Structure 1
Amino acid sequence: MKIFRQSHRFSSLRKSSTIRSDQMIIPHSRPTISKRDMDSVARNLLSGQIASRKEVGLFEKEMSSFIGVRMGVAANSGTNALHLALKALGIKSGDEVVLPTYVCASVLSAVNYTGATPVLADIEPGGYNISPESVEEKLSKKTKAIIVPHMFGIPANLDRLLKIDVPLIEDCAQAIGAEYKGKKLGSLGDLSIFSFYATKVLTTGHGGMALANSPQLLDRFADLTKYDEREGYAVSYNYEMADFAAALGRSQLRQLDSFIRRRNEIAKIYDDAFERIGMDGRTNRDGICFRYVVEVDNPDKYIEAMKKCGVNCAKPVFRPLHKYFGKCGEFPNAERAMSRAISVPIYPSLNDEEISRICKSINRVWANGSPNHMR
């Protein structure tokens, strides 16, 4: 029996019987939800088995197989998945964890949950990923982990980072499906974490997962998340993912190749649009293009000008972490990225009409190399 009659494809998600699409603001981010996804969630809801872990267990196995690691544990957010990864490594008060300053604040929060001291590193010159040189400068006898986000779907420089004798956690929140020298990101570090937030590469609404190959780490995951029916008490965490969320994740995972292919198609269209007006497009073409990031002299002016055209652009990182601590001058590459980077909407559910509008807006706003001509 068909659970939903209406077919939802990428291009149909923005249709409205009362508002024409050319009158609507194109959001910076938006999930891609298909009829297949809705059917999968509905089947689980109708089964009544929404907290049995059956779907969750299958999702954990399928994700682990896709990435190429032994197993993992699903969580109700990427932040909590990272917390579990840190706890599995035994991170505690008095330890230090190195992470980039140019990343969302939830990464910092996960470190703070453990009581460890976060140590901020700069990003690479001209890029957005953590700088191996900066990491090496920040190491101490107290360093117990390094968190390496693959920013915007672009693989970090893992060769040098993996040579450091400190456990490495790959943060693949924006990079599921991307590869580094023929291997899936998430399979190279000691552990890896993923986020399935609403606007990530694939979604479960809220959700995340921590993966590992080590049997010891996997046993630790299991112990940390067993919060009931224990013989002896130990602090554990009720970070369970719901089965209907896992059902959505499994359905999304089966569509991941098409999601990435669509992202690459749209990125190429934007590349051509910038090339036609003699401007540089995205700064890096590696990975899966989770964000289409360009650099300009005054991002706020471009964001405002694109908004006037009906397109919501954004700074890809709201604020570098060092700004929360009042630190200035120590992170020049992150400061450069913050002062220049702007993200243009890119996601599989953009339809052809919306992509055309974005390209026309790029042409208008970037004309003469500045948005100042717009009023």
Structure 2
Amino acid sequence: MNGILLNRNKSKKLEEVPHSRPHIDQLELDELKRLIAEGSLADGSSVNHFQNRLTAYLKNQTVIAPSGRKALTAALLSIDVSGYEVVLPTYVCEAVYYAVLQAGAHPVLADNAEKKWTVDIESNLQRASSRTAALIKVHPFGINPFEDFSEFSSRSIAVIEDLCQAFGPTSENADVGVYSFFATKEITTGQGGAVSCSDKNLFTKVSDLLRDEAVFTPMTDLQASLGVVQLDKFGYLKKRRERIMSEYVSALPEYLCDPEIHRRKFDLTRMILWDPLGDFEQRRKEFAEYGITIRRGVDALVHRKIGLSDIEYPNSVNCFDHTISIPAVPSLTDSEVERVVQAIKKVWK
């Protein structure tokens, strides 16, 4: 295997190591076959079961949504943000921005902290005003940006935790949490999402919204049964990802490893690195020579998508330029992991 990597100009084309790939095996196939054989395709029993399992795991009342974006839209609508401002990062999936618009609110974009993948309390507060109804606290790659909510509570600003890249319970004082079960997430139902919260009145509002099939397409029993199996093996998936990342950290030069991020303070869900080179296209080509697909941390900065200047968001621009994400999904085989390790050693030799 190493010989193939060392002689990367051989005519034989390497099979691609994908950046993202869901972990689907015989367990999911058997469950889908069982459901089809029983004809239980639309009675809602699997959806209810999955929802109950999520409620137990997330330790809060949980309702299923069609997607992460729709989950966020419903959460925003339930706290009546229409006509008000909502603070969110510019360094985030654009679906978050469009969910805010769909809820009738005005998005206000915040810059990352310096050389960080997250927006800290100070950056969020700088963007907040008397018109701010909510803050979307994004956990990029599984990183929790802060724990103290007191400043926002004192201003009557609701905190929505975007946990679409960090599957687990919400922080203690968060008003609501939203999740995605897209094919690239920690557990998948193909498409799908969820909203979780502790306040009964808020939960009733968001549940009523999501039950309106004219607006929110319901999850199918087939999708939900897939989710139940994924949840059953989530512990294994998490440990597998941790082992893969540990191998990468051992292979990486020390200057690429952030002690806070890569030494298990957070449960990383993607193997992200701050590359001093700051030339993503160059790194993409280098890894592609070994048949390995890498990605940026985010595909685009929201402020650029809507025509705003980089001047207001220097830290996010810096983060966008210097961040790369290498394959670390649990579905990687041992041989694929070894190929990535060898490529790491060659790219950063």
Match of 1:167 in 2: 158
Give the one of 322, 325, 329 matched to 1:343: 325
Match of 1:217 in 2: 202
Measured against aligned partners, the alpha-carbon deviations of 1:21-41 in whole angstroms (never above 9, x if no partner) come to 983010111100121112122
Tell me how many residue pairs correspond in the alignment.
330
Indicate conservation of the 8 Å contact 2:176/2:196, yes or no. yes
Q: Secondary structure at the match of 1:32?
A: coil
- Counterpart of 1:77, as a letter, is S
Indicate conservation of the 8 Å contact 1:176/1:185, yes or no. no
Cα distance in structure 1, aligned partners of 2:50 and 2:172:
17
1:58 CA displacement: 1.4
The 5 A counterparts of 1:129-278 are: 129-160=118-149, 163-164=152-153, 165-177=156-168, 184-185=169-170, 188-227=173-212, 237-275=215-253
1:226 CA displacement: 3.3
1:280 CA displacement: 2.0
Match of 1:73 in 2: 63
Cα distance change of structure 1 residues 22 and 58 upon mapping to structure 2, 3 Å threshold = farther
1:102 CA displacement: 0.4
Deviates more, 1:204-213 or 1:128-137: 128-137
- Counterpart of 2:283, as a letter, is Y
Measured against aligned partners, the alpha-carbon deviations of 1:125-151 in whole angstroms (never above 9, x if no partner) come to 222112211110111121111111100
1:215 CA displacement: 1.1
Which of structure 1's runs of 4+ aligned residues deviate more than 6 A?
none
- Counterpart of 1:363, as a letter, is K
1:319 and 2:319 matched = no
Match of 1:365 in 2: 347
Give the one of 106, 112, 129 matched to 1:123: 112
- Counterpart of 2:244, as a letter, is I
Cα distance change of structure 1 residues 336 and 160 upon mapping to structure 2, 3 Å threshold = farther
Cα distance change of structure 1 residues 59 and 185 upon mapping to structure 2, 3 Å threshold = same
Q: Secondary structure at the match of 1:90?
A: coil
TM-score of the superposed pair, with normalisation by structure 1: 0.84
1:160 CA displacement: 4.5
Cα distance change of structure 1 residues 95 and 39 upon mapping to structure 2, 3 Å threshold = same
Indicate conservation of the 8 Å contact 1:271/1:282, yes or no. no
1:68 CA displacement: 1.1
1:238 CA displacement: 2.8
Measured against aligned partners, the alpha-carbon deviations of 1:340-368 in whole angstroms (never above 9, x if no partner) come to 0000100101111111111111111112x
Q: Secondary structure at the match of 2:135?
A: strand
Q: Secondary structure at the match of 1:159?
A: coil
* CA RMSD of superposed structures (Å): 1.9
Cα distance change of structure 1 residues 293 and 340 upon mapping to structure 2, 3 Å threshold = same
Match of 1:232 in 2: none
Cα distance change of structure 1 residues 108 and 221 upon mapping to structure 2, 3 Å threshold = same
Deviates more, 1:37-46 or 1:331-340: 37-46
Cα distance change of structure 1 residues 343 and 282 upon mapping to structure 2, 3 Å threshold = farther
Structure 1: 5+ residue stretches without partners: 1-20, 178-183, 229-235, 368-375
The 5 A counterparts of 1:17-36 are: 23-36=14-27
Cα distance in structure 1, aligned partners of 2:220 and 2:151:
34
1:306 CA displacement: 0.3
- Counterpart of 2:98, as a letter, is S
1:353 and 2:335 matched = yes
Match of 1:289 in 2: 268
- Counterpart of 1:270, as a letter, is Y
- Counterpart of 1:24, as a letter, is E
Q: Secondary structure at the match of 2:230?
A: helix
Indicate conservation of the 8 Å contact 1:155/1:185, yes or no. no
Match of 1:91 in 2: 81
Indicate conservation of the 8 Å contact 1:67/1:186, yes or no. no
1:168 CA displacement: 0.6
1:162 CA displacement: 6.5
TM-score of the superposed pair, with normalisation by structure 2: 0.90
Measured against aligned partners, the alpha-carbon deviations of 1:298-318 in whole angstroms (never above 9, x if no partner) come to 222111110111100110201
- Counterpart of 1:349, as a letter, is S
